[in-house]
Amino acid sequence: MSGRRVLVLNGPNLGRLGSREPDVYGATSYAGLVAECTRLGTELGLAVEVRETNDEGELVRWLHEAADGSVPVVINPGAFTHYSYAMRDAAAQRTAPLIEVHISNPYAREVFRHTSVIAAVASGTVAGFGIGSYRLALRALAEELAG
């Protein structure tokens, strides 16, 4: 990998892409998401590392790692988006751009999904474009890093 290091972090249930509610999250598998993010990262001159966990504490540790190393982040916090103040506080410590992504449009779904505790401390949010949300976020990140 060459280029500026970028972490693409994924929260709970995202490892089940392709089989989890395909009418909401699409047919692309998690492996497909990893391949697409890595491919586009290379095209954009970014060294993209994609990670996924169902563990809130692990996501918080990864955000600390990113803050300590000034590593830009694209994050899909999954359900943690709506209530994890620990994740919000970790994201607030960022020392590089952080873009929140969602595959679906949370505002077109259940009311509890309308609140993001992460959005206020993120550089920006991309939602509702399926796996394309990640592509848009990585492109925005590359532009922001190019300054």
Q: Any idea which residues carry the catalytic annotation?
A: 25, 102
Contact at 8 Å (CB) between 127 and 117?
no
Contact at 8 Å (CB) between 4 and 145?
yes
118 is in an annotated binding site: no
113 is in an annotated binding site: yes
89 is in an annotated binding site: yes
How, if at all, do strands 4-10 and 98-102 pair?
unpaired
CB crowding 8-23: b at 16 or more within 10 Å, else e: bbbbbebbebeeeeee
103 is in an annotated binding site: yes
Binding residue ranges: 76, 82, 89, 103-104, 113
Binding residue ranges for substrate: 76, 82, 89, 103-104, 113
